[in-house]
Amino acid sequence: MTENLAPDEVWAPSACTLPTVERPLRVAEFDALFAETVRAVRRPGRERLRLELAPGPDNAARAAELAARESGCCSFFTFVLTVADGGLALEVAVPPEHVEVLDALAERAGRSA
């Protein structure tokens, strides 16, 4: 489905309902979150991604708000935000048919870690 798309377009498969003009802004929001908060990127499974974020209430709120908005337009994502033992993590899961989207997300996050 996304084989011939540019890296930013991989994030926006046909299942995404975010208006096309807003997509670059959303990518920029994720890039900023990654650059400012990501400490480590882990891939516990092909369909799962774990981002370890700099702890703090502002980062937790920011990640939660962005995840909620992304779930609104790309309902195939499952986001789980965990605050425990002084750490903060955002886990992202997708169904098998959207692994390329998760791959693109992991690649972008990895540039910041």
d(CA 65, CA 8): 21
Query: In this structure, is the dihedral angle defined by the CA atoms of residues 97, 43, 48 and 6, taken in order, positive or negative?
Result: negative
Answer yes or no: is 30 within a domain.
no
Contact 2, 12 (CB under 8 A): no
Answer yes or no: is 12 within a domain.
no
Residue 48 belongs to a domain with what CATH number? 3.30.70
Answer yes or no: is 4 within a domain.
no
Answer yes or no: is 85 within a domain.
yes
> Can you give the residue range of the structural domain that contains 80?
39-113
Answer yes or no: is 34 within a domain.
no
Query: pLDDT of the chain along its 113 residues, tens only?
Result: 333 334 445 455 566 767 677 778 888 899 999 999 999 999 999 999 999 999 999 999 999 999 999 898 888 999 999 999 999 999 999 999 999 999 999 999 999 87
Q: Count the domains in the chain.
A: 1
Answer yes or no: is 14 within a domain.
no
pLDDT at 55: 98
